């Protein structure tokens, strides 16, 4: 299953890329579709692309709901496996 997941930007990389962190899993993603992202921002991640920036409180609430529904563990497992 593919989900769009709130992730936190921890480093900006060359060529419109960023390093994001989700529960200790770090992954390089594309920022091609979103302008003005800075370190510390939350973005919605889907299939390796940031789709939009997200308010930090909304990101925390969404992650909490995903964890409660058991979807966060699946997403983390997919991220660890490179899906």
Average per-residue pLDDT for the chain: 88
The two structure tokens encoding residue 79: 């991220």
CATH number of the domain bearing residue 51: 2.30.30.140
> Could you tell me the residue range of the domain that residue 62 belongs to?
5-80
**Alpha-carbon 23 to chain mean position:** 10
pLDDT digits (tens, 9 = 90+) for 33-61: 999 999 999 999 998 999 999 999 999 99
Inter-axis angle of helices 56-68 and 71-80, nearest 10: 100
Tokens 């769009």 identify what position? 4
Domains in the chain: how many in total? 1
Strand partners, 28: 19
pTM above 0.75, yes or no: yes
Sorting pLDDT into bands at 50, 70 and 90, what band is 67?
confident
Q: Compute the distance between CA of residue 75 and CA of residue 32 in angstroms, rounded to an integer.
A: 22
What does the pLDDT read at residue 1? 46
């Amino acid at each position: 299953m593919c989900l769009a997941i709130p992730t936190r930007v921890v480093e900006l990389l060359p060529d419109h890329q960023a390093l994001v962190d989700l529960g200790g899993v770090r992954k390089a993603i594309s920022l091609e579709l979103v302008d003005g992202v800075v370190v510390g921002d939350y973005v919605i991640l889907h299939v390796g692309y940031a789709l939009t920036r997200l308010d930090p409180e909304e990101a925390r609430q969404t992650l909490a709901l995903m964890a409660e529904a058991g979807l966060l563990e699946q997403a983390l497992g997919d991220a660890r496996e490179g899906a």
